[in-house]
Structure 1
Amino acid sequence: MDEDSVRGGDSHLKTCVVLGGRGFTGRSLVSRLLRLGNWTVRVADSGHTLHLDASDSVLEDALSSGRASYHSVDVRDKPQIVKATEGSYVVFYMGATDLPSHDYFDCYKVIVQGTRNVISACRESGVRNLIYNSSADVVFDGSQPIRDGDESLRRPLKFQSMLTDFKAQAESLIKFANNRDGLLTCALRSSIVFGPGDTEFVPFLVNLAKSGYAKFIIGSSENMSDFTYSENVCHAHICAAEALDSNMEFVAGKDFFITNLKPVRFWDFVSHIVEGLGYPRPSIKLPVRLVLFVFSLLKWTHEKEGLGSNYDTAHQYALLASSTRTFNCNAAKKHLGYTPVVTLEDGIASTLQWFSRDLEKFDDTIIQSTADQLLGCGKVADLLLWRNEKKTFLSFLFLNLFYYWFFFSGNTFTSSAAQLLFIFAVALYGVAFVPSKIFGFQVKKIPPWRFEISESAVRDLSRDIVVVWNQGVRGFKSLSIGGDWIKFFKIAGSLYLLKLIVSRSLAAFLFTVMSFSFTAFFIYEQYELELYHLARIFIECLTVLKRMVIPVSGASSKPMFM
């Protein structure tokens, strides 16, 4: 059903309620309903007051003209729902927003019990149609791929996420309430909704990219998925509202899959989003079982410690990212008259444009890496972190020449230093007689002030020497008093290690340090976040294993007889 046919359905205004109208898809639906021109919209949400921003210009105009109103509604409070829905023709229940994801009892009251309250309130206030914004997740548990799945798919016996289980229960309540006290219901199952203002999927990808995890591909990267642009979800809701009247027999009490009708590789879609926001595209493949095991282990650890975690979301993402999940929307096309109004390509472009505005304010912000801070954020850091590849390469080349000169030329260290100073003095003296131009090339002279040291530099150097000296004196005083065993082992261990290095091979040690400096810091800066998170996961896994081993060993140490 196209937009023109929806607009021409009735000449008079019909009243609707968008319950959850300040959520991601709720805001899009409110805006679309108001642009159609034949609806009076009641925006209902959990916020006590309505806060408008630049994207709410259509709603702002409608509020001033009386075509829209705002109602503060807590779905756990049935009288509030009755008051907001009384006299309305249709209720679009977009689902609860701002859920406390770590409090499952509260989530149950909002999602499941809240849906019961919505149904009861709609029947009490005489609402004609109730359309529930469900999710394709209610038929997916990750155990089997879904290829061109339709509405005949059965719900899994067990879900990986408790929130998905609650949503499936809410959908069942909606369908079961159909044709009771004149209330007609249906549910729309959209698959991976994205768009401007997205609060779940795209922000999750952005957070992954910021943390460095977006570089990893879970699985083979060949799995296909269906995505749905938010404007198409809103269009499907309006089509369903019209179809419940004109095609009630095939719509009421039913559920319908809603997608963009264009399955794509999951990782191609993620790459478009991540690259479009300026982050590296995913490239490193990880085994699915390994990722799921780590997530399960971390979730178990946090639950044992009584801490909240977002590993349910991460686990669900891992399943989506590694499984084929495509759906057949023929039922929605035939009975609702649904076809996408925005293509997948245009939807991605609009989404990137919207999220890029939020990222622009960080473009001019200089963020110093840990490697940069360790190296002093100065010229040494610029060289070792390859900020200027030409200067870094020349520095590395000169250091290698010096290394060869002092350790492999066959001379002693003193004679090598004397020969180097002699060559430098001859070269410096000879440059004075070289013409300013040779074959058209400009010869730069070294000005005398290049060899001068400013008084401030000498003072700073002297101050640094004094600080280091005083720190050493305080350290030796602490040793002479005794008692600080940690400091003793640090100093004694460092001195002994230096003794071993010098006594074995100073040349090998210096070569190792030089090679390490020009490679390790650069690699560490490039993969700092990945290394940090991998180290954290490794430490948490060791902690889990330790807790599993210690109780056993403790139990075995108890006496067998009392």
Structure 2
Amino acid sequence: MEEDDSRVKTCVVLGGRGFIGRSLVSRLLRLGTWTVRVADSTQTLNLDESDSLLEDAISSRRASYHCVDVRDKPQIVQVIEGSCVVFYIGADDLRSHDYFHCYKVVVEGTRNVISACCESGVRKLIYNSTADVVFDGLQSIRDGDESLQRPLKFQSMLTDFKAQAEGLIKFANNRDGLLTVALRSSIVFGPGDTEFIPFLVNLAKSGYAKFKVGNGENMSDFTYSDNVSHAHLCAVEALDSHMESVAGKEFFITNFKPVKFWNFVSRIVEGLGYPRPSTKLPVRPVLFVLSLLKWTQEKEGIGSYYDTAHQFALLASSTRTFNCNAAKKHLGYTPIVTLEDGISSTLQWFSCELEKSDDTTIQTKADQLLGCGKVADILLWRNEKKTFFSFLFLNLLYYWFFFSGNTFTSSAAQLLFMFAVALYGLAFLPSKIFGFQVKKIPPWRFEISESTVRDLSKDVVVAWNHGVRICNSLSRGGDWIKFFKIAGSIYLLKLIISRSSATFLFTAMSFSFTAFFTYEQYELELYHLARIFTECASVLKEMVLKNLPLPDASSKPMFM
């Protein structure tokens, strides 16, 4: 049955190609009672497999795409003329370090949208805000409602701009007949997420997702993207039915189910195949280090990964839960997708995206150091059975040579005698004993190929020539660095041997079976920690150098 064209209304989705914008556009088109004008800052509309609904709607003229820069009011006026509702989603690709650009887009852009709506006779403006506008990063929020005041200072300048934009939306209500509503969603996630879930994936890839900031008991509210879209439509209907209690107001939007922040993160990273967070880190040192690194990159005028990491650490260590009774009562909003179903669909979407990516397995540094062969497989516990028997065999040898009470020579002779007897006796054993097959050792097992002998000879020659070159270099003198390296290494070896060769060998054996494996497991974390330490050291160095007194230019050198 065809839709009655008289019931079809026209709306504009500003920011319609962003994460929430795409979800809202899809929902509007599925309803079938809207003609949707999708507006965004990209010059062309690049459609993919997930945009089949929008592609069909454009073909049937139920949807259209418009390139709009919110900093240019005439462009906004041109696209919203004749519409009854404007959904202002806002940009989700802003870089927080470019403060001037963010201010022009977020604050000045909101002013232009309001002014354009007033000039074009648009009656309803729904603004997609964020719960961050009441969070200062310091004080926890428990069951917060719309009576919460905005903090005097924000941890992020971008959040400050969004709070200013929300204030403009609120005070624009009833200007030239325009009705406004602001929706404050808390930590939005879902398929196509471009911020929160990708940040978690990057954390997991870098190894940082193994760490928890804080005690892990803090609660948070999360909001599935389809529920945010549903809330926008509820706001439009509420403005028609009971305008007085909705217009000019802000409403918190969540999934109505607060959960522990780190439980949610664990569900996501573990569902994508990464280890769940387990190691707890104290909040203050983490925030201090991230603040220092953030300040360093801001001074350099470049985009800061640590700015996003600092905001995440604040969210991850604070309780943020909100009371949505006002949205339920006045907007008629209730979640249409449960938190569990939202997590499942998000994991399914991101799992498919990760499978499409061209990530290839990269050999670890530990594997490269050990030659990427059988030794690496044993010491890195790739084959636990081989590793266990190798470790057991080495321990037996260690006991035989150092704790048997015999000299090294007599122990070696006894071991060779036992090996000869066992090898000779193996030849007389039947092929099966009590149903178990006895494997014979073929003679070729003891043969050494000519190529192996040649390679071994080459290695000996290369090592000898290398030693000769070192001796020649030392005999000429002048290379003090090489001298100290060689002399220090020999002296260290002397100290080790003089103490206890048994202790040294036991330590080396234990180190080999644990250190390489541990290093491989935490290679990325160690690399990033080393990088953080290096950057902190460079910052401290700069601070010390800046505080040093400048040389007196008037003083003259003693010797000319």
Shared fold by TM > 0.5? yes
2:519 matches 1:524: yes
Distance 1:362 1:516, change over 3 A: farther
Question: Could you list the per-position Cα deviations for residues 12-51 of structure 1 after superposition, in whole angstroms to 9, with x for gaps in the alignment?
Answer: 2111111000000000100110000000011111111011
Partner in structure 1 of residue 177 of structure 2:
182
Partner in structure 1 of residue 537 of structure 2:
542
Q: Which runs of 5+ in 2 are unaligned?
A: none
**Could you tell me which of 288, 298, 323 is aligned with 1:293?**
288
Q: Deviation at 1:557? A: 7.7
Deviates more, 1:315-324 or 1:20-29: 315-324
2:510 matches 1:515: yes
Question: Could you list the per-position Cα deviations for residues 109-140 of structure 1 after superposition, in whole angstroms to 9, with x for gaps in the alignment?
Answer: 11111111111122222212111100000001
Q: Following superposition of structure 1 onto structure 2, how do residues 81-230 of structure 1 map, counting pairs within 5 Å? A: 81-230=76-225
Preserved CA contact (<8 Å) 1:256 1:331: yes
Q: Deviation at 1:476? A: 3.6
Residue identity matched to 1:95: G
Partner in structure 2 of residue 501 of structure 1:
496
2:271 matches 1:276: yes
Preserved CA contact (<8 Å) 1:11 1:38: no
2:361 matches 1:379: no
Q: Deviation at 1:559? A: 10
Residue identity matched to 2:395: N
**Could you tell me which of 311, 327, 332 is aligned with 2:327?**
332
Preserved CA contact (<8 Å) 1:196 1:351: yes
Q: Deviation at 1:10? A: 9.3
Residue identity matched to 1:130: L
Partner in structure 1 of residue 307 of structure 2:
312
Q: Following superposition of structure 1 onto structure 2, how do residues 332-411 of structure 1 map, counting pairs within 5 Å? A: 332-361=327-356, 365-411=360-406
TM-score, normalised with respect to structure 2: 0.94
Residue identity matched to 2:80: T
Residue identity matched to 1:12: R
Preserved CA contact (<8 Å) 1:298 1:541: yes
Q: Following superposition of structure 1 onto structure 2, how do residues 460-499 of structure 1 map, counting pairs within 5 Å? A: 460-499=455-494
Q: Deviation at 1:173? A: 0.8
Q: Deviation at 1:560? A: 12
Preserved CA contact (<8 Å) 1:134 1:188: yes
CA distance in 2: counterparts of 1:195 and 1:475, whole angstroms? 62
Q: Deviation at 1:540? A: 2.8
Distance 1:205 1:467, change over 3 A: same
CA distance in 1: counterparts of 2:187 and 2:158, whole angstroms? 15
CA distance in 2: counterparts of 1:309 and 1:116, whole angstroms? 28
2:212 matches 1:255: no
Q: Which runs of 5+ in 1 are unaligned?
A: 1-7
Partner in structure 2 of residue 426 of structure 1:
421
CA distance in 1: counterparts of 2:95 and 2:144, whole angstroms? 31
**Could you tell me which of 549, 553, 556 is aligned with 1:555?**
549
Q: Deviation at 1:210? A: 1.1
Residue identity matched to 2:96: S
Deviates more, 1:168-177 or 1:502-511: 502-511
Partner in structure 2 of residue 3 of structure 1:
none
Question: SS at 1:555's partner residue?
Answer: coil
Question: SS at 1:44's partner residue?
Answer: strand
Distance 1:9 1:495, change over 3 A: farther
Aligned length: 554
Preserved CA contact (<8 Å) 2:97 2:301: no
Residue identity matched to 2:549: A
CA distance in 1: counterparts of 2:100 and 2:266, whole angstroms? 36
Q: Deviation at 1:316? A: 1.5
Partner in structure 1 of residue 24 of structure 2:
29
Residue identity matched to 2:439: K
Distance 1:473 1:104, change over 3 A: farther
CA distance in 2: counterparts of 1:347 and 1:214, whole angstroms? 21
Preserved CA contact (<8 Å) 2:97 2:298: no
**Could you tell me which of 12, 19, 31 is aligned with 2:7?**
12
Distance 1:456 1:340, change over 3 A: same
> Identity, % of aligned pairs?
82
Preserved CA contact (<8 Å) 2:16 2:25: yes
Partner in structure 2 of residue 4 of structure 1:
none
Question: Could you list the per-position Cα deviations for residues 374-424 of structure 1 after superposition, in whole angstroms to 9, with x for gaps in the alignment?
Answer: 111110001101111111111111111212222233333333222222221
TM-score, normalised with respect to structure 1: 0.94
CA distance in 2: counterparts of 1:328 and 1:274, whole angstroms? 28
